[in-house]
């Protein structure tokens, strides 16, 4: 599978098989995050990999009871160890850099036959308490990972003409 095929076939998976993710596949997914680009090469991302069933059930509760969070054999809690650096453009580095790393993970997961889902609906204070994450460490997203029980259908996407402007912003 090439990168474009991974992009085209990747879906947000919310139903997982009761099948563990092999260590070598998990390591390739995590290595993809490690190799992601970051502003000034700060590499602020940090990941807590959760496989323990009891802990995943607690994370499910902290993720507003979303059942697939507890069902996925792996939940990767995507954090940042940051000084809050702001780029010249006015954006904080860490949310963008962590998002790039997550996207790298989702694409490698697709290549490995695994499904993922970005989860932004969670109570960060509860997740920090469950996992012992320091208060100063922001949690950007949760990422579920596992073998899909079913593959969702593609969602509608806007056309290029609706999202791309050439040379200037104009209607």
In sequence order, the 6+-apart residues with CB closer than 8 A to the CB of 78 are 45, 47, 98, 101, 102, 139, 140, 141, 142, 143
Fold for 3-163, please state it: NADH Oxidase (3.40.109)
Under the banding of pLDDT at 50, 70 and 90, the label for residue 2 is very high
**The pLDDT of residue 152 is above 90:** no
Please give the structure tokens belonging to residue 144.
């579920």
**The pLDDT of residue 9 is above 80:** yes
Mean pLDDT for 53-57 is: 98
Contact 141, 120 (CB under 8 A): yes
**CA-CA distance, 138 to 26, in Å (whole number)?**
23
**Which range is least confidently modeled, 96-105, 129-138, 148-157?**
148-157
DSSP 82: -
Contact 29, 104 (CB under 8 A): no
Average pLDDT score, the chain:
96
Query: Structural domain boundaries of the chain?
Result: 3-163
Mean pLDDT for 11-25 is: 97
The confidence score (pLDDT) of residue 1 equals 86
Instruction: Give the 3-state secondary structure of residue 28.
Output: helix
Instruction: Give the 3-state secondary structure of residue 96.
Output: helix
- How close are the terminal C-alpha atoms of the chain, in Å? 38
Q: What pTM did the predictor assign? A: 0.96
Under the banding of pLDDT at 50, 70 and 90, the label for residue 77 is very high
The confidence score (pLDDT) of residue 170 equals 84
Mean pLDDT for 18-42 is: 98
The confidence score (pLDDT) of residue 151 equals 84
- What's the count of helices (H) and strands (E) in the chain, helices before strands? 7, 4
Over the stretch 84-128, which tens digit does the pLDDT of each residue have?
999 999 999 999 999 999 999 999 999 999 999 999 999 999 999
């Amino acid at each position: 599978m090439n990168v474009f095929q991974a992009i085209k076939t990747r879906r947000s998976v919310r139903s997982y098989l009761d099948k563990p993710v092999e260590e070598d596949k998990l390591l390739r997914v995590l290595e993809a995050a490690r190799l992601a680009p970051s502003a000034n090469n700060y590499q602020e991302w940090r990941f807590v990999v959760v496989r323990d069933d009891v802990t995943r059930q607690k994370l499910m509760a902290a993720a507003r009871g979303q059942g697939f969070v507890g069902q996925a054999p792996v939940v990767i809690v995507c954090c940042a160890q940051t000084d809050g650096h702001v780029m010249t453009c006015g954006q904080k580095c860490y949310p963008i850099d962590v998002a790039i790393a997550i996207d790298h993970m989702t694409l490698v997961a697709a290549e490995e036959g695994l499904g993922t889902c970005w989860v932004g609906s969670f109570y960060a204070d509860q997740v920090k308490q469950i996992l012992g994450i320091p208060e100063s460490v922001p949690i950007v997203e949760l990422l579920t990972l596992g073998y899909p029980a079913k593959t969702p259908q593609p969602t509608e996407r806007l056309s290029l003409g609706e999202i791309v402007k050439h040379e200037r912003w104009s209607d």
